[in-house]
Amino acid sequence: MIIWHDVEQGSPEWHALRKPLWTGSRAIRLLQGKPFMEEAVFAGNNATRRGHMLEVVALREYERKYGRKVQRPGFVTNTIYSNAGYSPDAIDGGWLLECKAFSGVRHEDLVAEKIPLTVQVQIFFGMIITGKRKARLLAYNPEVVGYDPLTVIEITYDKLIGNNIRSKLRLDMKKRRSI
C-alpha cells in the first residue's frame, strides 16, 4: 500500500520520516551496493537554494503549459518496501514530476536528454515507491536565451535498473530484519 504523508518537505517531521529510509537522494548508493548511511543535516548551499526556489517556478510554468494543477505531496512510503521513502517534487495525475534547475552545461545536457545516472536512478526509485509508471523530468533554467526555460522530458521506466533497485531494497530489508 502506498502512503502519502502530509508533511512539508524540509520540516522536522519530514526529516524524521526519511531518516532511517533509503530515499531518492540515496538511491544511487543503493544501486551501487554501498551501505546505508544516514544523511547529515544539510543546510544547503547556493546551488540547492537556487534549485528549491526555481522548483516552485518550474512547477508553475508546467501548470501553465499543461493547463492543470499539480499535487505537492511531502513524502511517500510504500509498504512493499518498508525501508524506503520518496519526496516527489510533484504529481500530475499518473505522472511523477522531478524538477532539476541546473545551469550551464548541466542544463544543456538535460535538454539534450543526456540525463546523469544519479538523476535517472532517483526518478526510477520514485516511480517504484509512488507506484507511478510514467515520469516527466522538468529541466528549468531561467537564464537560457533563445528558447523556453522549461523543457519537459518524458522518462521511460528502465526495467533493468528498476529490477536492480527492487532487488537491492529486498536484500536490505532482509539484512535489517536479521540485525
Residue 63 sits at φ, ψ, to 5 deg, of: -60, -40
Model confidence at 44, pLDDT cuts 50, 70, 90, reads low
Mean pLDDT of 123-131: 98
Identify the CA nearest to 147 among candidates 95, 112, 114: 112
C-alpha 9/C-alpha 85 separation (Å) is: 13
Beta strands 75-78 and 2-5: pairing type? Answer: antiparallel
Identify the CA nearest to 158 among candidates 3, 31, 71, 4: 31
Three cell numbers at 173?
530489508
C-alpha 21/C-alpha 102 separation (Å) is: 26
Cβ atoms of residues 137 and 55 within 8 Å: no
User: Quick check: 42 pLDDT over 60?
Assistant: no
Three cell numbers at 84?
524506503
For 107-118, what is each residue's pLDDT tens digit? 999 999 999 999
Model confidence at 74, pLDDT cuts 50, 70, 90, reads very high
C-alpha 85/C-alpha 126 separation (Å) is: 8
pTM of this structure: 0.93
For 133-178, what is each residue's pLDDT tens digit? 999 999 999 998 888 999 999 999 999 999 999 999 999 999 999 8
